[in-house]
Amino acid sequence: MTTATPTQPMTAAGFFFSGGEGIGPVEVVSSDQASIEAMADALQHQGALSAISAAVKTLSRAGLGAVSNQIATAAHGLLNLDLDLGELVVAGWCQFADLTSAAKRTAAVPGSVEVVDLATHSITWTHNPQIDVLVNDARVATVHFELSIRFTVKGLVATVRYGRLVSFSSGGCKVTGTLAAESRQLAQREAQFQLPLLVRLGDGIPLLRSGREPAGGQDDPPHMAPMRHAS
């Protein structure tokens, strides 16, 4: 396992398909086409589209290949647009009571700063998108995807000012994930990231909603594992 050094936001599609098959180093590629082709190959080789092959059996071999490529393109788009790994980490942090409490206190007292030590913790995020397959404007099949990503962050020390996460230090972030379609595993990955490369703070990340309610609020919220001190 090597340390990945992305120069642009790392998406789930890039995480799984930009570095070849199986568990191994992750390298960011400049073109999305390579990861789309890798996903299409995985869909075919793992038999994830067998049900679709029956539904569109009147299509030629070339037609079936085109369907596979279109499904891969659609799935790649979903994983690119919706799943920036850095945003998932931040959404997970917005669930931590220690951080949101510090955000509320600093928002109430302008100029105040709090440092929060979260020790070693983990965040698990799951997502179940689906893609409908249309032939001549009629739906002939639906492909169900199952995605699970787990972040293990070691030794996070966060600085909160006026309700925002303004800086942090960490021993690193291990990301492991699996992606399946129709219960057939397409990809499995494990990589080590440096958090400043994964999470971009800009002017600071709001930890509270308007009205000082905790941020987050996505359809599939991260599941927070109990915090534990490193052994």
The predicted structure's pLDDT at residue 61: 67
What's residue 150's pLDDT?
A: 94
Asked, for residue 207, whether it belongs to a domain, the answer is yes
Residues 125-162: tens digit of each pLDDT: 998 989 888 777 878 788 899 999 999 999 889 999 99
pLDDT in tens, 60-72: 667 677 778 888 8
| Rounded Cα–Cα distance for residues 161 and 94 (Å) | 14
What's the domain count of the chain?
A: 1
pLDDT of residue 4: 43
Whole-prediction pTM value?
0.72
Domain hosting 109: range is 10-224
Contacts with 198 (C-beta within 8 Å, 6 or more apart), sequence order = 6, 10, 85, 86, 89, 173
| Domain annotation covers residue 5 | no
Q: What is the pLDDT of residues 25-45, one digit of tens each?
A: 334 444 678 888 888 888 888
Measure the CA–CA gap between 138 and 124, rounded to whole angstroms: 36
Domain assignment present for residue 135? The answer is yes
Contact 208, 101 (CB under 8 A): no
18-32, 51-65, 87-101, 177-191: segment of lowest average pLDDT: 18-32
